[in-house]
Amino acid sequence: MLAADPDWWRGAVIYQIYPRSFQDSNGDGIGDLAGITGRLDHIASLGADAIWISPFFTSPMKDFGYDVSDYCDVDPMFGTLADFDALVARAHDLGLRVMIDLVLSHTADAHPWFAQSRKDRTNPKADWYVWADPKPDGTPPNNWLSVFGGSAWEWDGRREQYYLHNFLTSQPDLNLHHEPVQEALLDVARFWLKRGVDGFRLDTINFYFADKYLRDNPSLPKELRNNSIAPSVNPYNHQLHLFDKNQPENLEFLRKFRAVLNPYNAAAVGEVGDAQRGLEIMAEYTSGGDKVQMCYPFEMLQPTRLTAPLLVEIFDRMRAAAPDAWPCWSYSNHDTVRHITRWHLSTEAAKTYATLLVCLRGSLCLYQGEELGLPEADLSLDELQDPYGIQFWPEFKGRDGARTPMVWVTDNASGGFSSGKPWLPVKPPHLPLAVATQDRDRTSILAHYRRALAFRRAHPVLRTGAMEDIAAVGGVTSFQRRGGETLLCAFNLGDSAAVFGLPEGTWTTIGTDLGSQTATGGSVTLDPWGVYLAKRA
């Protein structure tokens, strides 16, 4: 039985599971809940504190579960509610908390709520979605764009109005300005909390409300378009998204959501989909202790590699926005190119970034396969399933390259994921990185992740302590973690050796099994991708 700790989330390591691709238990080529249950020992052995399961709800699967048609049931391809209950019980037995992915900004167009809403303008759910009249010339009510390309408005002939969809046209946006919608969504959270979940990952948390006056977004200067939540070929990058998301009304809804969480000691981590103000929005949503506990912004999910100066900039901006804000850092997830490929990392560089991650102030999300050092899979157009990639091929290849199945063994073509044909192919470069192979190798990335997570657990200051004196000199970043003890952490994020001068005091090297180097006198010469970890005497 897990302890009833309201602060379990603070500094926790959360392992993300993409259920279609984790483990198939019945041979249909699609991962399922029973498969996850059978592989939880791997996650427990890694040293994670919790799992986050991407959507498994009833869905037409046009966006692979992020288009929900029933929030309170399991899609048959993933199993049953009984399978989910068994998963929760097994996870708790292993000391793992369970978080599930709630998609509250929109539903599938197959959801009964939308089926009723679109019938006419006077039915009981007429106001449950964002509907708007056309302009006098019949065009959409404003200039808002979809993250998946094109207008964010779709015409519906039954109501002779447009409905808002920030993503696919089959994903109509809910109208959270309407109180009954908020209550229905809070009831969804209560349903799963009563089933034993420990928290939620909140998809697109800053998209819940749109401007009630439907004002046009201003344009975004060209020089600012490089950092975006959408690929460069997408016109979504041409706007500063002032009015289609990030609205102030969201704060009060998040307070209501937190009030639902508190009696269960449950926690939520929100996905902040905004490239310009992600850190500031995260600070708004997590500060004060009355909204969500954590958010993860996109700063470490960007194409640009995390460098020493960039790390300093991120923490300076966060501290200025709200000192008590709580981030949840992630290098990879199901929507981004895996960071091994995105940042062109060698094995040694990948290990250094893993060590850096566990030393940061905040909670952490690890994406399945990250602990194996999986690169992005290279898929052909005929292998793609993702509508986003198909839309913008070949300049943008979509998200499927990060969603291919986990590799467990090397003695079959699907890596032990399924006895049938996987829904996405397992590519040959992934097979040598299988869990079974790395389990036997103390020099493997998997072994390094296990040591890194054990190091974080052994030093509680890394989970809850202050992070101070953050600095960047050349390619070296350094900081101190202060609380019950004081740790010094320095990382050479480059291919050339660098000298790091120690701060005043007596420092004892720790973390030697993570490659921590030894200081001589008042400095340490860090090898390329070298690490120095020390404790103040």
Of 90-99, 215-224, 441-450, minimum mean pLDDT range: 215-224
- The number of folded domains in the chain is 1
Q: At residue 227, does pLDDT exceed 70?
A: no
Does residue 328 belong to any structural domain of this protein? Answer: no
Q: List pLDDT tens digits, range 118-162.
A: 999 999 999 999 999 999 999 999 999 999 999 999 999 999 999
pLDDT of residue 2: 87
pLDDT tens digits along 64-117: 999 999 999 999 999 999 999 999 999 999 999 999 999 999 999 999 999 999
User: CA-CA distance, 224 to 131, in Å (whole number)?
Assistant: 31
CB 144 within 8 A of CB 164: yes
- The answer, yes or no, to whether residue 248 has pLDDT greater than 70, is yes
**CATH number for 529:** 2.60.40.1180
Q: Which domain covers residue 496, as residue numbers?
A: 459-536
Are the beta carbons of 458 and 443 closer than 8 angstroms?
no
Q: Please determine, for residue 376, whether its predicted confidence score (pLDDT) is greater than 90.
A: yes
Mean per-residue pLDDT over the chain, rounded: 96
Whether the model clears a pTM of 0.85, i.e. scores above it, the answer is yes
Range with the poorest average pLDDT among 183-192, 273-282, 328-337, 342-351? 273-282
| 3-class SS string, 420-432 | CCCCCCCCHHHHH
Residue 297 has a pLDDT of 85
Q: Looking at residue 275, what is its pLDDT?
A: 80
Is residue 509 in a domain?
A: yes
Q: Looking at the domain assignment, is residue 496 inside a domain?
A: yes
In a domain, 502, yes or no: yes
- Is there a domain that residue 132 lies in? no
Catalytic residue among 32, 173, 203, 335: 203
Residue 168 lies in a domain: no
Would you state the pLDDT for residue 497? 97
Q: What is the mean pLDDT of residues 215-221?
A: 96
Bridge partners (DSSP) of residue 363 are: 328
Mean pLDDT within 35-41: 98
> Is 73 among the residues known to form the active site?
no
Does the annotation count 271 as an active-site position?
yes
Distance between CA atoms of residues 238 and 145, nearest Å: 9
DSSP-assigned states of every residue in 314-330: HHHHHHHH-TT--BEEE
β-strands 161-164, 131-132 pairing: antiparallel
Distance between CA atoms of residues 450 and 403, nearest Å: 23
Residue 24 lies in a domain: no
Torsion of CA 116, 122, 125, 128, to 10 degrees: 110
Exposure on the CB side of residue 206, measured as CA atoms within 13 A? 28
The model's pLDDT over 493-517, given as tens digits with 9 standing for 90+, comes to 999 999 999 999 999 999 999 999 9
Structure tokens at 14: 């959360």
Give percent of the chain with pLDDT exceeding 70: 99
Residue of 32, 75, 271, 280 marked catalytic: 271
Kindly state whether residue 342 falls inside one of the protein's structural domains.
Answer: no
Q: What is the pLDDT, as a whole number, of residue 229?
A: 78
Rounded alpha-carbon distances, angstroms, from residue 241 to 145, 147, 221, 245: 9, 11, 12, 7
Question: pLDDT band at 33, cuts 50/70/90?
Answer: very high
Strands 97-102 and 199-202: what pairing?
parallel
